[in-house]
Each structure stands twice: as structure tokens, then as C-alpha cells.
């Protein structure tokens, strides 16, 4: 635990189908923690990054979290990106979000606007994820020994790549579709943890070649690319399952603890 | 069952770790059938095509067959390609095989030679697979109602694509790396069954772009491409598992029978 880390304040708790969902606040960060009702000592902790314009309880993120918690015993944490979900949005971010919406409804390419916006958001989100991870590992029910993975789509990918490039605790990464630019490519070169990266092959907003360039850029010794027919949403159920199995393979307990 | 189909002659039977292995002869075709010791009515039948120069009991093919039989209850059939394994090789095929070996040891590109050779072999193998499938479906222990999939690498891909292009009984295809040419691309366009296609991303003998072109060519509504770091062999265990899960998803029993 980082000496300056603050304490997580849990603000609500609900439980259904074997999954406990607890909302939390940590300084300015708002988040949610999904865990199995039967605690699994040493099972993976997965940090989950939502897409731009969404929030910690984005439908796809929640579907994936519930799958991996109930089927594989993982613990999943999600936080709102700066200016997203329960957090105030500053004027500059509001302007950027409006610009994305306007470009999309005008049928113009959104990639250039999205890339600038997400790069700015990810830069701010990286230290927030580190603070969150410090605080989660300080909780007795989680502790410092669980292996940690990161899952994300879109903005969540940009954040996760930047985080993994500087944060050795991230031991495996499972990503979905994302707009690719040179900043992201450069960060990917610094990532050495195993990566699973899935490309929606028929999403007209995403460029296939730049997706393959991103896959090539990862410095990871083991990396896997999945392309599936369809668009970014919904992610096929079998890919959710594949992501969880990927984490099972790579996130072995670091202490004597054994997973479920 | 085709009215002219001949009867399979089983020549040997061994059993270990819950898997029965039976060699068979069918006219000039030599093959092997892997099935669970506990019969699974209605579970998938997977036809497995070996690579060029190998045979019905190629190590990778057997590893994949044992995995899917013991873990998922499938029945797997493999036959020797013309001039491979237990079958006599004609002079023209011997010359082609020698040419591949010579080019490889001389460090020359083998793709052009391999492509001509495999195209010729696949053309002869397609009717043999159809004969084999007729005969297998005529067996009471298999029957006509099991859903049928096809798995293959290299030559096995060229054969499987050509087979699926003309054979509606093939309901799902899982492929590994292959040399791509226009004949293969044209056949792939005629395939409409779901496809899972895996590319070894670091195999210097295989061209990435032509692999992606082949993926694009498949006429299938659902298709998935997996690229993994490494070469053609060995295929990672998690990809064997993915292939079996792919077949589980797509090969539902066609009668009232239920799988394991």
C-alpha cells in the first residue's frame, strides 16, 4: 500500500445471483466493486475501463463483470473516468463530448476528435487507477497478493495501455475496439504483459489496418488478436468468455493463496 | 447415406484415458476414428484434416482430437490425404513433395510449390471426405443426425474450404495457418458456415496480409480470426480449447438427441 493512499468509502451494497456490488468513493473518484458472495482469496482482481461517454456501470462492462465474477470468481473494479458517470464534467470536456456527438450526427469522421479527447482523459485517469489500486489492495478482503488484470474498450483501452506502460502490477490486459493514434502506439510498445485484443471487423468507425498496427506495437511476448464479425457493441458472449479464460491463464495467485 | 456408399472396415481398436481409437479402411482411404468410451448420442462429429507431408495421426491433430473427445465428448475422424500416411504416393506427388523439401532446405520460398501441390491434393481429397462422411453416418454408433464440423491446418485448410464450399453437411469450420492463393480465396467465398480461423503471427513462411485476405473472403455471416504470437506449431493449448468451444457453440444436435 502506498503510504499516502486514502481509504475507500463504500456508499452502498447490493447483492444478487451470487454477486455483491458495492459503490465506493475515493477522494474525487467514484467507483464500483463487483465480487463473489463467497470470497475467493487470491483469485484475480480485474480493473475494468469503460468507453468514452459511458460510466462505471456501462451495460457491456457490467455484463462482462457479472460473467467473470459469477463464472470465474474474479473481483472486478470499475471507476468513472474524469468527467464521466457520477463525476462533474468540466467545460473543456463538455465541449469535446459535444464535438464528438455533432460530428457523428453530421456523418463526419469522429476519430480525430475522439482521439484527442480520450488521450486527455486517459492521462488524467492513470494516476486515479493507481490510487484506486492502492486503496483496493489495502482492503483486507482484497489484499496485496491478488494478481491484477485490466479490461477495457475504447477510452478504456487508451487508459489501460497508458496504465500498463507505467504500472507493473497490471499482469494481463484484455482489450476491445479503440481508435488508434501515435500516442497509443507508443504506449503499447512499452507494454510487456500478455495482451488479448479484439477487433470488431465490421465497425465502419474503426479502421482495420490501424487496429492491426496497434496489435503489432504491443511489446508483449504473448499477445492474441481476435477479429469477429460485427460492430463494437454488443461484444459476443463467447468473447466475454474468452476474456475471462485469458485472465484465468495469466493471473495466477502471487502468494500461497489458491483461486476458486 | 448415399446409395453407393461402401462399408467402413475397422482394422484395429485401442482405448486409453476415456478415448477409443479405431483405424479403418474404406476402399483406398485409410483413416482413424476417435470417440469417447462412453458413447455420446448427438454430440458433434468433427472431421480433421492434416497438413501436407503429415498423416491422419499427425501429433497436432491427435492432440486436438484427444482434447475435444475427452473434454467435450466429440467424435473425431481423420483420413490420410491422397499419397499420405498409409497410402501409396504416386510419382507426380513424390516429385512435388521433394520439390517442397528442396526449396525449404535451400532457403527458397516454398509457397508457390506448396500451393500447387495442396490444390491438387485437396481436389482429390474432397470426394474422399464425402465418401467417408457417408460411411460414418451409415454406422449405427454415429448415425445421420450428429452435427458435423471440420478442423484443419495447412493442406487440411485447403481441403476443408473446398469441401465446405460444396458440402452442406459441414456446419462449422475451425482452421489454422495456410498458404493462400486465388483458388483458395475463390472457394472461401462459397463458404457460408461459421468459421474460426487462426493465424500464427510470427511464422515467416506465412504472409499475414494474405491470411487476412482469406479471412475477409469467407462468405460466412459469423467468422472469427485469431492471431497468436508464435509459429504454426505448436498451436497453443488455449487455441485447441477455443476450437472445441467454437464447435460446441455451432454444432447443435439436429435431432432430438442431446449432447453430453
B contact test, residue of A175, A192, A238 with most B CBs within 10 A: A238
Other CB atoms within a 10 A radius of the CB of residue B38 amount to 9
| Of B224, B225, B229, Cβ closest to residue A223 | B229
Residues 182-201 of chain A with CB under 8 A from chain B are: 201
Q: Hey, what's the cell of B217?
A: 473472403
Helix, strand, coil distribution of chain A in percent, nearest 5: 40, 20, 40
Average pLDDT over residues A82-98: 92
Q: Hey, what's the cell of B202?
A: 510470427
pLDDT score for A231: 84
Write down the pTM of the prediction: 0.87
CB of A227 within 8 Å of a chain B CB? The answer is yes
Q: Is B221 helix (H, G, I), strand (E, B) or coil?
A: coil
Distance between CA atoms of B193 and B198, rounded to whole angstroms?
Answer: 16
Cβ–Cβ below 8 Å for A229 and B229: no
pLDDT score for A260: 40
Residues 6+ apart with CB under 8 A from B164: B150, B170, B173, B190, B191, B193
Distance between CA atoms of B147 and B44, rounded to whole angstroms?
Answer: 5
Q: Which residues of A are less than 8 Å from B221 in CB distance?
A: 229
Q: How far is A27 from chain B (nearest CA, A)?
A: 41
CB of B221 within 8 Å of a chain A CB? The answer is yes
Whether the Cβ atoms of residue A68 and residue A74 lie closer than 8 Å to each other: yes
Cβ–Cβ below 8 Å for A224 and B221: no
CB of B215 within 8 Å of a chain A CB? The answer is yes
pLDDT score for A105: 93
Q: What is the pLDDT of residues A159-169, one digit of tens each?
A: 999 999 999 99
CB of A222 within 8 Å of a chain B CB? The answer is yes
Q: Which residues of B are less than 8 Å from A223 in CB distance?
A: 201, 228-229
Distance between CA atoms of A219 and A224, rounded to whole angstroms?
Answer: 12
Nearest residue of A to residue B216 by CA position? A201
pLDDT score for A206: 87
Q: Hey, what's the cell of A231?
A: 460492430
Whether the Cβ atoms of residue A257 and residue A220 lie closer than 8 Å to each other: no
| Of A223, A228, A249, Cβ closest to residue B238 | A249
Average pLDDT over residues B100-128: 92
CA B47 to chain centre: 5
Nearest to B28 by CA among B102, B99, B81, B106: B81
> Helices (H), strands (E): how many in chain B?
7, 9
Which architecture characterizes domain B39-53+82-250 according to CATH? Answer: 3-Layer(aba) Sandwich (3.40)
Cβ–Cβ below 8 Å for B229 and A220: yes
Q: What is the pLDDT of residues B137-177, one digit of tens each?
A: 999 999 999 999 999 999 999 999 999 999 999 999 999 99
CB of B71 within 8 Å of a chain A CB? The answer is no
Residues 6+ apart with CB under 8 A from A154: A51, A52, A118, A176, A177, A178, A179, A232
Predicted ipTM of the assembly: 0.81
Angle at A25 between CA A22 and CA A28, to 5 degrees: 155
Output the CA–CA distances (angstroms, integers) from residue A81 to A32, A104, A121, A196, B42, in the order listed.
12, 21, 7, 22, 49
- DSSP-derived pairing of the beta strands B223-228 and A223-228: antiparallel
Distance between CA atoms of A189 and B252, rounded to whole angstroms?
Answer: 42
Q: Which residues of A are less than 8 Å from B215 in CB distance?
A: 227
pLDDT range class, residue A63, cuts 50, 70, 90: very high
pLDDT score for A39: 74
| Of A224, A228, A241, Cβ closest to residue B227 | A224
* Torsion region of A172: left, alpha or beta (phi above 0 gives left; psi -120 to 50 gives alpha): beta
Angle at B73 between CA B68 and CA B78, to 5 degrees: 55
Nearest residue of B to residue A242 by CA position? B242
> Helices (H), strands (E): how many in chain A?
7, 9
Q: Hey, what's the cell of B99?
A: 520439390
Q: What is the pLDDT of residues B82-98, one digit of tens each?
A: 999 999 999 998 999 89
Q: Which residues of B are less than 8 Å from A228 in CB distance?
A: 222-225
| CATH class of the domain at A9-250 | alpha beta
Size of interface A-B (CB pairs under 8 A): 45
Q: What is the pLDDT of residues A22-31, one digit of tens each?
A: 999 999 999 9
Residues 6+ apart with CB under 8 A from B217: B185, B186, B188, B189
- DSSP-derived pairing of the beta strands A75-79 and A29-36: antiparallel
Cβ–Cβ below 8 Å for B227 and A215: yes
Whether the Cβ atoms of residue B184 and residue B158 lie closer than 8 Å to each other: yes
Q: How far is B229 from chain A (nearest CA, A)?
A: 6
User: Greatest CA span in chain A, whole angstroms?
Assistant: 56
Q: Which residues of B are less than 8 Å from A220 in CB distance?
A: 229
Whether the Cβ atoms of residue B151 and residue B47 lie closer than 8 Å to each other: yes
Mean pLDDT: which of A35-44, A84-93, B35-44 is highest?
Answer: A84-93
Q: How far is A248 from chain B (nearest CA, A)?
A: 11
Nearest residue of B to residue A216 by CA position? B201
Q: Hey, what's the cell of B112?
A: 508457390
Average pLDDT over residues B8-22: 96
CB of B232 within 8 Å of a chain A CB? The answer is no
pLDDT score for A17: 92
Amino acid at each position: 500500500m502506498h503510504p499516502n493512499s486514502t481509504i475507500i468509502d463504500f456508499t452502498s451494497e447490493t447483492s444478487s445471483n451470487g454477486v455483491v456490488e458495492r459503490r465506493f468513493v475515493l477522494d474525487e473518484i467514484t467507483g464500483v466493486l463487483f465480487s463473489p458472495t463467497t470470497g475467493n482469496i487470491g483469485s484475480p482482481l480485474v480493473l475494468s475501463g469503460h468507453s468514452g461517454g459511458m460510466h462505471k456501470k456501462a451495460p457491456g462492462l457490467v455484463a462482462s463483470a457479472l460473467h467473470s465474477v459469477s463464472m470465474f470468481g474474479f473481483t472486478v473494479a470499475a471507476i468513472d473516468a474524469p468527467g464521466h458517470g457520477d463525476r462533474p464534467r468540466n467545460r473543456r470536456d463538455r465541449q469535446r463530448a459535444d464535438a464528438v456527438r455533432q460530428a457523428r450526427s453530421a456523418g463526419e469522421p469522429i476519430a480525430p476528435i475522439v482521439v484527442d479527447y480520450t488521450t486527455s482523459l486517459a492521462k488524467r485517469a492513470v494516476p486515479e487507477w493507481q490510487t484506486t489500486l492502492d486503496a483496493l489492495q489495502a482492503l483486507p478482503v482484497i489484499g496485496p497478493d491478488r494478481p491484477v488484470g485490466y479490461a477495457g474498450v475504447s477510452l478504456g483501452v487508451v487508459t489501460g495501455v497508458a496504465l500498463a506502460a507505467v504500472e507493473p502490477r497490471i499482469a494481463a490486459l484484455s482489450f476491445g475496439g479503440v481508435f488508434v493514434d501515435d500516442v497509443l502506439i507508443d504506449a503499447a510498445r512499452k507494454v510487456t504483459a500478455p495482451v488479448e485484443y479484439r477487433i470488431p471487423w465490421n465497425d465502419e468507425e474503426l479502421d482495420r489496418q490501424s487496429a492491426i498496427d496497434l496489435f503489432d506495437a504491443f511489446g508483449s511476448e504473448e499477445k492474441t488478436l481476435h477479429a469477429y464479425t460485427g460492430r463494437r457493441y454488443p461484444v459476443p458472449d463467447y468473447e466475454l468468455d474468452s476474456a475471462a479464460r485469458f485472465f484465468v491463464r495469466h493471473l495466477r495467485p502471487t502468494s500461497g493463496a489458491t483461486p476458486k
